Amino acid sequence: MLWNFSIISITIILTAAINPGLIFSRNMNDITTYIKELLPNMFLGISSGKLSPIFYNSYDGFREITMNITNIYLVNAKVIPQDTVIQLTSPSYLYVLFHDFQGNISFDYQELGFAINNTGHGNAVMNDAQLYFNLSLFEINSIPQVKMEYLILNVTSLDLNLPLNQKVQDTIEQNLVSLLQTHANAAFASSFESQINFFFQHFNYYPRLVFGVPFVVDISWANNEVIVSDEYMAFVYNGTILPSKGNAQLISEIAPPVEMPTRNLDPKSINNTQIFMSEYMINSYFWAIWTAYPNFLVSSFPASFNIQLVSNSGYFPEVYSHFGTTPMQINITYGSIPYIKSIPNLGLQGNLIVNANVMAMDKDEFISAFNATVQLQYLINVYIDGNYYLKGYPLRLKIISIDIVNSNVDAVSHYYLGRLIFDLFQNLANTNSYYFFPQIRLPYMLGTIFSNFHVRYMQGYLEVDYATVDVDSDNSDLINNYL
């Protein structure tokens, strides 16, 4: 079956609205657990860049000396995840406390004084330090980003082993500690910020919804709302889907979204991730397709039919009687915008009106044999497939009515036309189900798989919740693939 259409991109507008059309909600324990697991890998082996040199006067015994400490770097930094505290605070801030922040301080030293000229390279081990920082969350081109608001490093002590007087080593330690704590924000903030942004760009954590349809889709995070509570974080979107070409104005036939919760706290809905998708978002998706593809030309039957689209195929006895054996085409247009209705405790119900111009070849050109308007109704089974796409499969097709608008052949049998509609519907459902429901790639965490899935059909919206389980407690191999 040949469907003639051109590729048209669709834009998803995710800005503030009276009622949001899409809400993505994640359990706070799930969020903090995952960030706690990722952050240690983010900082594994990170370096500070060269720190400011230190020059000071002191004493080596009774002799006055000048100490020059240069080429100072923090290298091989790491954190211990078990001693990490993660907090998300309103409006969109991420607070992190590493109780056990470790690393090595590499430096060169020169001790100058009367009859003293000691030079060498030193290494101080930082085994007892705490690192605090606060990040603000935002987005650029659909990719989550962070900005370091402040960073504080608290170093209790350093372990040095230099061939110098112990009191000299003590002054070196004191000055290095002071340098680290005083200049930590300037020295480390940029490196840490870049590293976190790198990971957020490459790992599927935040809700970057991807549509599995043959359209180029642009998802904008601009002006989205983030709701933070003690129990969950919710990303709130307008959810309007518009075609980027053609008439993109909103139409009044699409009912605005109803009020939806940002979290279902019912014990039966305790999965860590919840998505609330309004009828409005789904129907604006259909309106975008309707605007982008106003008609479909069927010029051949699918291979599964094992017959050609000709008048003697068995579907068009009246056309065969009038024209004999001849090629045929069917031009399908929407009679109205397809729309979906969520029926509580039952499912999604699709409603569709199509106009079909059934054409036959006559004297080297296709002419209209008859025109029909068909009203269809069907249910949609929502599920997650093996590639973690949220999909909807249409089933239980019901033909509400068939109206023969005009005919250039004998009276058209509703029976044969109905059989054709069922067969075409089934084929389209099996091969291109995205025409019936927007396929959405669900975000899941690195090293996890889906373990549970529920769909609840509410008045005016669809609630999907799912859980993930860890299949790789050590994600270092997966992470290293990106480094």
Q: What is the reported pLDDT for 232?
A: 77
- Answer whether residue 448 shows pLDDT above 50: yes
Q: Pick the more confident residue, 185 or 347.
A: 347
Q: Which of 1-5, 35-39, 43-47, 242-246 has the lowest mean pLDDT?
A: 1-5
pLDDT digits (tens, 9 = 90+) for 169-189: 999 999 999 998 888 887 778
Of 468, 424, 430, give the one whose Cα is nearest residue 448: 468
Asked whether residue 393 carries a pLDDT value surpassing 50, the answer given is yes
Residue 94 lies in a domain: yes
Count how many domains the chain has.
2
Do 15 and 36 have their domain in common?
no
pLDDT at 446 over 90: no
Q: Report phi then psi at 311, rounded to 5.
A: -65, -30
Distance CA 324, CA 320 (A): 5
Q: Is residue 246 part of a domain?
A: yes
Q: 183 and 309: one domain?
A: no
Are residues 143 and 281 located together in one domain of the fold? no
pLDDT at 212 over 70: no
d(CA 141, CA 197): 13
Rounded to whole angstroms, the Cα distance separating 14 from 105 reads 46
Residue with tokens 């109206």: 403
Mark whether 172 and 282 lie in a shared domain.
no
Give me the pLDDT at residue 402, please: 95
pLDDT at 10: 43
Highest mean pLDDT among 257-271, 282-296, 419-433: 419-433
Domain that holds residue 278: 10-21+216-470
Residue 5 lies in a domain: no
Q: What pLDDT, on the 0 to 100 scale, is given for residue 34?
A: 65
Nearest C-alpha neighbor of 112 from the set 65, 147, 77: 65
375 in a structural domain: yes
Residues 289 and 416 in one domain: yes
What's 126's domain CATH number?
A: 3.15.10.10
Q: What is the pLDDT of residue 412?
A: 93
The CATH number for 421's domain is 3.15.20.10
What pLDDT does 443 receive? 66
Average pLDDT, integer, range 450-465: 88
pLDDT tens-digit series, residues 282-341: 888 888 777 777 788 999 988 888 889 999 999 999 999 999 999 999 999 988 888 899
Residue 482: inside a domain, yes or no? no
Phi, then psi, of 477 in degrees rounded to 5: -65, -45
* pLDDT at site 246: 52
Quick check: is 200 in a domain?
A: yes
For the chain, the average pLDDT equals: 80
Q: Is residue 151 in a domain?
A: yes
Last residue of some domain: 165, 184, 204? Answer: 204
Q: Are 152 and 133 in contact (CB under 8 A)?
A: yes
Kindly report the number of other CB atoms within 10 A of residue 175's CB atom: 17
Structure tokens at 163: 């061939």
Q: Which two tokens stand for residue 369?
A: 């044999």
Same domain, 189 and 252: no
Q: What is the rounded CA–CA span in Å between residue 443 and residue 465?
A: 12
Residues 192 and 340 in one domain: no
**Residue 481: pLDDT band by 50, 70, 90 thresholds?**
very low
pLDDT at 376 > cutoff 90? yes
Residue with tokens 């693939």, as numbered in its chain: 481
pLDDT confidence of 264, banded at 50, 70, 90?
confident
Q: Region 144-166: what's the mean pLDDT?
A: 87
Whether the per-residue pLDDT at 447 is higher than 90: the answer is no
Token pair listed for 366 = 């296709």
Is residue 2, in this structure, part of any structural domain at all?
Answer: no
Q: What's residue 28's pLDDT?
A: 72
Residues 107 and 239 in one domain: no
CA angle 116, 122, 128 (to 5 degrees): 125
Q: Of 204, 229, 247, which residue constitutes the final position of a domain?
A: 204
Q: Are 359 and 475 in contact (CB under 8 A)?
A: no
Q: Determine the angle formed by the axes of helices 166-202 and 28-42, rounding to 10 degrees.
A: 120
- Among candidate residues 176, 204, 232, the one where a domain is terminated: 204
Q: Is 454 exposed, middle or buried (0-12, 13-18, 19+ CB in 10 A)?
A: middle
> Quick one: what percent of the chain has pLDDT higher than 90?
34
The rounded percent of the chain whose pLDDT value lies above 70 is 76
pLDDT for the residue numbered 287: 81
How many whole angstroms separate alpha carbon 424 and alpha carbon 399? Answer: 13
Say what the pLDDT of residue 221 is: 36
What is the structure's pLDDT at 249? Answer: 58
470 vs 433, residue with greater confidence: 433
The whole-angstrom separation of Cα 142 and Cα 237 is 13
52 and 132 assigned to the same domain: yes
Range with the poorest average pLDDT among 146-155, 175-184, 245-254, 465-474: 245-254
Above 80 in pLDDT, residue 223?
no
**Residue bearing the bigger pLDDT, 89 or 365:** 365
For residue 98, what is the enclosing H or E element? strand 93-98
Q: Are residues 329 and 454 in the same domain?
A: yes
pLDDT for residue 81 is more than 90: no
Same domain, 64 and 82: yes
Phi-psi region of 396 (alpha: psi -120 to 50; beta: other; left: phi over 0): left
Residues 298 and 399 in one domain: yes
